[in-house]
């Protein structure tokens, strides 16, 4: 009996945890932050680069806080800190630790963009850039996304020769298959026409023989019976 009671209590705890998880799941998945599909970007020394970040929330937001953090080989610092009052307000910057940073984000037309432009790049700018977002409307729920920036002397040109060769081979194979199918259809058509002509010839020949031999299947006219 005791074992049955323990199992019942365990099932009750599991059920309660499951129900609680169902209630918490929408909240945990509501606030999302994204820096795009690329996990790494490359930029040339002395130029500028756009570090993208967008956010979304199923429950909306107010006084949403955001900040960008740089994590280099031996440096960790907050680059920019700001808030977004509501869906109709553009991001407002409260703190910016580098004059090279230009916030280019906007929340108008539901863009929810808090990206920034980093100008006059230096090799020391190489590192991880993490975009953090906190939404008071969701009990200060936080989410973040990270992108890696690599500052280089020059961008290497991608050698597309292998790609061109592969495409040419694939295109050639496809073209050959199409040619084979066309030839096959042509041969089938010629054979069909040849067989039809052969059948017509046999039928015509059979009709002539029947006519000459006076067979029942012939086209010979029947002579009327001779009158006595």
For the chain, percent of residues with pLDDT exceeding 90: 44
Q: Which residue has the tokens 């939404």?
A: 135
DSSP state string for 101-125 = EEE----GGG--B--EEE-S--GGG
Torsion region of 79: left, alpha or beta (phi above 0 gives left; psi -120 to 50 gives alpha)? alpha
> CB burial class (10 A; 0-12, 13-18, 19+) of residue 56?
middle
Task: Say if strands 40-44 and 141-152 run parallel, antiparallel, or are unpaired.
Answer: parallel
Report how far residue 163's alpha carbon sits from residue 168's, in angstroms, rounded to the nearest whole number. 8
Q: Which residues pair with 141 in a beta bridge?
A: 135
Angle at 82 between CA 63 and CA 135, to 5 degrees: 35
pLDDT over threshold 60, residue 227 = no
Q: Regarding the domain with residue range 30-152, which homologous superfamily does it belong to in the CATH classification?
A: Immunoglobulins (2.60.40.10)
Window from 37-51, 163-177, 178-192 with minimum mean pLDDT:
163-177
Output DSSP code: residue 139. Answer: T
Identify the top-confidence range among 1-10, 164-173, 197-206: 164-173
Work out the pLDDT band at 184, boundaries 50, 70, 90.
confident
Rg, C-alpha atoms of the chain: 40
Segments making up each domain of the chain, as ranges: 30-152, 162-206
pLDDT tens-place string over residues 126-181: 999 999 999 999 999 999 999 999 999 988 765 566 666 777 787 888 888 888 88
Residue 86 C-alpha from the chain's centroid: 31
């Amino acid at each position: 009996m005791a074992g049955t009671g323990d199992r019942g209590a365990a099932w009750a705890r599991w059920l309660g945890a499951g129900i609680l998880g169902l209630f918490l799941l929408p909240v945990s998945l509501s606030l999302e932050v994204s820096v795009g599909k690329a996990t790494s970007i490359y930029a040339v020394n002395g130029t500028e680069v756009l570090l993208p970040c967008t956010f979304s929330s199923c429950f909306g937001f107010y006084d949403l806080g955001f900040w960008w953090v740089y994590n280099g080989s031996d440096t960790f610092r907050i680059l920019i800190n700001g808030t977004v009052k509501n869906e109709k307000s553009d991001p407002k910057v409260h703190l910016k630790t580098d004059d090279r940073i230009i916030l280019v984000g906007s929340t108008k037309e539901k863009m929810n963009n808090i990206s920034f432009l980093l100008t006059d790049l230096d090799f020391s700018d190489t590192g991880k850039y993490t975009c953090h977002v906190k939404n008071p409307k969701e009990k200060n729920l936080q989410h973040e996304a990270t992108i890696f920036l690599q500052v280089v002397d020059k961008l290497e040109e991608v050698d597309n020769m292998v790609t061109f060769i592969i495409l040419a081979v694939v295109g050639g194979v496809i073209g050959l298959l199409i040619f084979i199918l066309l030839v096959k259809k042509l041969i089938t058509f010629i054979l069909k026409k040849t067989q039809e002509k052969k059948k017509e010839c046999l039928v015509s020949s059979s009709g002539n023989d029947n006519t000459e031999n006076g067979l029942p299947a012939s086209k010979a006219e029947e002579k009327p019976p001779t009158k006595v």
